[in-house]
Amino acid sequence: MSRDELDHRVTNNTMLTCKQASQLISQSLDHPLSLSNRIQLRFHLFICDACSRFRKQLKQIGIALQRMRQLTENDDSITLPTKIKVRIIDWVASKHL
């Protein structure tokens, strides 16, 4: 089922099921939804606590993943071990010379 097909199928039903709503919530993180899907989703979220929680979870996970990436990038205690540096130099020399 392609995204267009999903859009179509969803558009043909006025009310979203939670399963459809959760799919749209996930997709909305990756690209803008069509206007009709956006309206349907907003309405669904207005009346559905479970899907609102789901959306919040995904937001929390997104923020935490960024935080995790930054912590690793800035963690001075993580270093490339000397023996790996030596291995890299040997390997590159063997490929390049």
How many residues lie near other proteins (CB under 8 A)? 52
Q: How far apart are CA 4 and CA 12, in angstroms?
A: 12
Provide the 10 A C-beta neighbour count for residue 40: 21
Instruction: Single out the residue of 8, 11, 18, 36 in contact with other proteins (rule: CB under 8 A).
Output: 18
Structure tokens at 31: 């690209």
Round to the nearest angstrom and report the end-to-end CA distance of the chain.
51
CB neighbours of residue 55 within 10 Å: 20
Write the interaction track for other proteins spanning residues 35-74; mark x where CB under 8 A is met and - where it is not.
Answer: --------------xxx-xx-xxx-xxx-xxxxxxxxxxx
Q: Which residues of this protein are in contact with other proteins, per CB under 8 A? A: 1-3, 17-20, 22-23, 26-27, 29-31, 49-51, 53-54, 56-58, 60-62, 64-76, 78-80, 84-85, 87-89, 91-93, 95-97
